[in-house]
Amino acid sequence: MALKIWLNTGLVDEADAKISVFDHGLLYGDGVFEGIRVYNGKVFELEAHIRRLFESARVIRLPIAMPKEELIAAVETTVKANGIEDGYVRLVVTRGIGTLGLNPFVCTDSCLIIIASTIQLYPEELYEKGMRIISATTVRNHPLALPPQVKSLNYLNNILAKIEALDSKAPEAIMYNHEGYVAEATGDNVFLVKNGVVYTPPVEAGSLEGITRAVVIQLARQEGLQIIENNLTRYDLYVCDELFLTGTAAEVIGVVEIDGRIIGEGKPGPITRLLRERFYAYARGKES
């Protein structure tokens, strides 16, 4: 069945959801986006995602024509129109139609796109057995070049690292910043466990301030686990007891090998499994 796409002011048929070849989102990757999950027909952490979208847009001086409350309603309308019970929303704001030049201010109207469909990032087997990953040689964008909190349409930095992973027959890669500290995976945040303590890189290290990351931190603290945001090195990843990634599409997934080094006992550890179970229940409204 063809999807209904929200384009600027309302729903259109998938075949009619088109943007101009002069849109600066296409020409220059000039825009911002959010990936959002839907569980049991409810859009997960929608207000947090909308808040981050507006903050990203403010940083790059991109006006969003629709107020937050109306945008929330538009997302929910799109999800309902496509009958999505468990799925994924891609919310995109581009700079809009401009000229063949970098000047963003010739674009008078931004373009709003909402897609509601389904997604499965990793096969279920990986959640049970854990995944193998590598360290990327591609360095995370310098935070003074582009703040890591901005979820922009220009993902080439992450894509180059993803290519490294796929060339190594691995689904993911860890990206390090210009100082050699762990930043994030190509599409997920990074956590490790050592002696019962959970560690994750600070946003300042070059990681996106993930919505799922924030929920997992909250759930871990509810379980009485100590969470420390601290700079981490490749060495820390090699010698940790558990390693897992979090993200909107990935949710919580364990890592059992990095760069040929086995993590822990070579299977998702007890804290990883606990937090995945807690997140699964929380996301589906089975617990507060």
Which positions are annotated as active-site residues? 151
Helical pair 211-222 and 46-59, crossing angle rounded to 10 deg: 130
Q: Which of 240, 234, 238 is nearest to 199 (CA)?
A: 240
CB 247 within 8 A of CB 255: no
CB 22 within 8 A of CB 99: yes
Q: What is the DSSP letter of 23?
A: B
| 3 state DSSP class of 278 | helix
Strand partners, 193: 198, 242
Give exposure, 128-139, as e/b (b: 16+ Cβ within 10 Å).
eebbbbbbbebb
> DSSP alpha helices (H): ranges in the chain?
24-28, 46-59, 68-81, 124-129, 156-167, 211-222, 234-239, 270-283
